[in-house]
Structure 1
Amino acid sequence: MNTQITAPSKLYIGIDIHKRSWKVHCATDLFSGKTFTMPPKPELLESYVNKHFSEYEVTTAYEAGCCGYYAHRSFESYGWRSLVVNPSDIHRKGKERFTKTDKIDAQLIAREFKDGRLDGIHVPEVDREQLRSLFRRRNDLVKDFRRIKSVIKMQLLYFGIKVPEPYDNDHWSHGFRGWLDDMVFQYPIAKASLDSRMRYFRFVDEDLRLVSNQLRAYCRKHYKKDYYLLHSIPGIGGIVASGIICELGDLRRFTSIKHLAGYVGLAPGVHQSGDNQKHRGITMRAHCLMRSYFIEASWQAIRTDPIMQAYYRKHVGKNVKSVIVKVARKLLSRTLAVIKTETPYVIGVVE
């Protein structure tokens, strides 16, 4: 009886990617494979595969990290199937939890991939990924802005200088900035220190405004439809709308609110054993940046939307943190609905 090969042999490549080198493990359907080190160049791995596994169907996987998606896109351009995986999704057995080397990591990725236990994360388009870098830069500037304001107030407190009552708030008006510029110390060296901090404050303030305007302008131009749909929702302003477009991508890819809430991190954690069931608050696995933006947006939503306000008051008396998370989940559901139906939100209309 003649036998024929009905399916191509498969090659599974697990890669532990670092800046200066890659640890690569190759495994097939028939053998566990070998591990080797190579320079961080996708084209060299392609040459190796073409030389030793030319007839194989190639699949690759590596952990998401600082090296981004360049390797993933290169592998896909070779006609390979490629996954970028969340490190926490890689199952470790027994002592594997207590031993970690680059070689072991590459072997684990290849093994889990071969056994069909790995799912890849969402890889954004190049234009959206690069737009996301601007949004994250803005977030860094916000942190710097808050920090320098705290440092300046700390210096005033240290020297026993009381801020006038009209200026003693989080809003730094032009009058308050002028008051700081005109301040006189007993010794000029303290004034030099304050002036230096004020120069840095103004630099960060100007750069933050510039980046914010660039971000909003780009989203209005290139994602006009989604931007204005999101902007119609009370609580979601230009920056939050831009953040959703940058970080979450096209919301139409989410099949349900449960799917989206799990991605953002507004899904409840549950532990059940027999008849005992406990809720453990929101899940630890989250897109922390967008979760914080939705929670902040929820405070604005309950001030401007009667429906959200009524929903919040219905839970008055409970833990405030738990209630605002419920509101954020409702706001997230509203966001998905607006994008899916492509219908602007109208205040006062019962959902």
Structure 2
Amino acid sequence: MDTQQTATPKLFIGIDIHKRSWKVHCSSDLFGGKTFSMGPYPEQLQSYVLKHFSGYQVTTAYEAGCCGYHAHRCFISYGWDSLVVNPADIHRKGKERHTKTDRIDAQLIARELKDGRLESIHVPDMEREQLRSLFRRRNDLVKNYRTIKNLIKSQILYLGIEVPPEFDNSHWSHNFRHWLDTLDFKYSGARLALDSRLRHFRFIDQDLRDVSTQLRRQCKTYYKKDYMLLRSIPGIGGIVACGILCELGDLRRFRSLKHLAGYVGIAPGIHQSGDNLRTTGISRRAHRLIRSYFIEASWQAIRTDPVMQMYYRKHQGKNVKSIIVKVARKLLSRTLAVIKTETPYVVGVVE
């Protein structure tokens, strides 16, 4: 009796991606699968699939990591379905939690993909992704800036030099920098070390200013409408607005405030066992950088916006950290509303 294929066969490919090699597990809807190693080249995987699985409907998945989205974009261009998944979303059972190899990881991804339990993270377009790299470069510079300032102050403290009271704060004025330049040491070694650190400090300071200016200019050029909408909200300055545009992308993609708050991490953690239900504080799963930006922006918002100020005072007397998180969520709600309605915020209008 002749048999005919009535449905397109499906191929599920789980990939554990590394810089020098990939571990690949191929599994179809009819057989368990095969695991093998290959070079880190999407076209090499395409050649393998065309040779051994021609005519299959292909779906691939790999964990988000240092290799970015290049492979994902290549797979899409081949006409395949492709998912980039959060490593925390890959379910491990039993001893899989304590045994980790590249082979096991590829097999787990393929299994979860085949069972339909994986969801892709949001993959930004290339323009926004490359703008994001500029924003992250600025954050690297901010860390280096703080580090070199601490090193300079630690040297002064170590050598027993007292900083004048008018300079003993986090703001480094031109007068304070001049005071550092004119410090007199008994031996030249300390002066040479301080001069080296001051040169490093001035280089980072200037580079940070330049990158910040370029970042704001890029956002105004490519996303001017959304940038100006965000800047209309009290508490959200130029850099915070750039961070939202670069890291969160187009806020219109979020279905609701709950969806956005869960992504940013301004949402409560909940633990329930039987009749015992308790909150575990703020969610541990978060976009930590943007969450910190919203927390900082909230302190500025309560100083400049009467509505936010009134909301903060209504909760005064409680834990300050809990209150500012509430304010941050309200600021997040305001941010989403401004973008979705495309209406600038008006200060002092009660929502």
TM (norm. structure 1) is 0.99
Distance 1:277 1:303 in 2: 36
- Residue type of the alignment partner of 1:147: T
Match of 1:24 in 2: 24
Q: Does 1:77 align with 2:77?
A: yes
Distance 2:81 2:239 in 1: 36
What aligned pairs does 1:148-297 form with structure 2 within 5 A after superposition?
148-297=148-297
Q: Helix, strand or coil for the counterpart of 1:297?
A: helix
Match of 1:307 in 2: 307
Deviations 1:33-57 (A, max 9, x none): 1000000000010000000100100
- Residue type of the alignment partner of 1:146: R
Q: Helix, strand or coil for the counterpart of 1:343?
A: coil
Query: How far 1:15 moved relative to its partner?
Result: 0.3
Distance 1:192 1:137 in 2: 29
Match of 2:5 in 1: 5
Deviations 1:168-227 (A, max 9, x none): 111111011001001110001110011001000000000000000000001011100000
- Residue type of the alignment partner of 2:42: P
Deviations 1:307-341 (A, max 9, x none): 11111111111111111111111100100000000
Distance 1:275 1:235 in 2: 41
Match of 1:325 in 2: 325
Unaligned runs of 5+ in 1: none
Q: Helix, strand or coil for the counterpart of 2:183?
A: coil
Distance 1:3 1:66 in 2: 46
Distance 2:311 2:326 in 1: 9
Distance 1:16 1:144 in 2: 33
Query: How far 1:2 moved relative to its partner?
Result: 7.5
Match of 2:88 in 1: 88
Match of 1:41 in 2: 41
Q: Helix, strand or coil for the counterpart of 1:279?
A: strand
Distance 1:145 1:31 in 2: 55
What aligned pairs does 1:56-135 form with structure 2 within 5 A after superposition?
56-135=56-135
Query: How far 1:272 moved relative to its partner?
Result: 1.9
TM (norm. structure 2) is 0.99
- Residue type of the alignment partner of 1:342: E
Match of 1:339 in 2: 339
Report the identity percentage.
76
Query: How far 1:5 moved relative to its partner?
Result: 3.1
| Number of residue pairs aligned between Structure 1 and Structure 2 | 351
Runs of 4+, deviation exceeding 4 Å: 1-4
Distance 1:334 1:310 in 2: 15
Distance 1:341 1:292 in 2: 25
- Residue type of the alignment partner of 1:15: I
Q: Helix, strand or coil for the counterpart of 1:71?
A: helix
